């Protein structure tokens, strides 16, 4: 249930409350629980890659991925930045093949790679 809440959190980002930040409704979710469940993480990765079914929340979050990548999560609250870093790290370490596919799908020319990696490594 908590993993669904995380994905709702990330999906809710698509519906920004104020225009300059994503909705913070689920910012207190424990993202670590999602990355500890490889099966669920894989299912969401497949959703994001359009290779498997999506929950309603997964579909909503899938819509925010391109913008978050292009802007290095510029509209994210500090908590959302932490959640995104946790989930991305989970993909990178537990499912690197899915992470590679996501990167290729969303940034095939590597235009945002350097800036997004700086975002991932920062602590703001």
CATH architecture entry for 2-121? Orthogonal Bundle (1.10)
Q: What is the DSSP letter of 117?
A: H
Tell me the domain boundaries of the chain: 2-121
Q: What is the DSSP letter of 21?
A: S
pTM of the model: 0.78
Nearest one of 43, 39, 13 to 25, comparing CA atoms = 13
**pLDDT band at 92; cut points 50, 70, 90:** very high
d(CA 116, CA 107) in angstroms, rounded, equals: 10
pLDDT, one tens digit per residue, over 74-87 is: 998 888 899 889 98
Nearest one of 19, 14, 17, 26 to 80, comparing CA atoms = 26
SS3 content of the chain, % helix, strand, coil (to 5): 65, 0, 35
């Amino acid at each position: 249930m908590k993993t669904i809440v995380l994905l709702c959190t990330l999906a809710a980002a698509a519906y920004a409350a104020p225009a300059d930040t994503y909705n913070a409704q689920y910012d207190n979710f424990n993202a670590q629980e999602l990355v500890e469940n490889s099966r669920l993480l894989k299912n969401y990765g497949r959703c994001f890659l359009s290779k498997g079914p999506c929950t309603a929340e997964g579909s909503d979050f899938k819509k925010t991925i391109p913008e978050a990548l292009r802007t290095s999560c510029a509209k994210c609250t500090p908590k959302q930045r932490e959640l995104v870093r946790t989930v991305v790290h989970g993909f990178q370490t537990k499912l690197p093949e899915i992470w590679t596919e996501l990167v290729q799908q969303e940034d095939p020319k590597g235009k945002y790679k350097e800036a997004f990696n700086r975002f991932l490594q920062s602590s703001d």
